[in-house]
Amino acid sequence: MVQLFVFLLVGFQSNVPQSDFGIFPKALWFLHAYGHADCTSAKNDRQVKSTLAKSFAKDRELSLEEVGTLISPEVFRSFAGEDDRLSESGEKHGDTTL
């Protein structure tokens, strides 16, 4: 049994740096940390995640228009800047990255 555990542990390790978890978990954390209180509620988990998925399916960016029901406009704009968008790379939108 121990050998199976070690085999699975080694087999599932990846070469991805530990600090890079991907855009979806970063955005989810962002909404849990800065969004409305109901973003962290288990009953709203499906709505929050589906809103993020729809937003990223379009252009891999978050816009105030897409997530405005989950976070206050003032808080979102403090991170996004004047264009009301957050991107993974931050190259286009004032160096604000997720």
What are 29-65's pLDDT values in tens digits?
999 999 999 999 999 999 999 999 999 888 889 999 9
What pLDDT score was predicted for residue 30? 93
Number of C-beta neighbours around residue 26 at 10 A:
14
The pLDDT confidence band at residue 82, using thresholds 50, 70 and 90, is confident
**Which sign, positive or negative, has the C-alpha torsion 73, 79, 83, 85?**
negative
Q: Considering only CA atoms, give the Rg of the chain.
A: 17
Cα 98 to Cα 90: distance, rounded to the nearest angstrom? 8
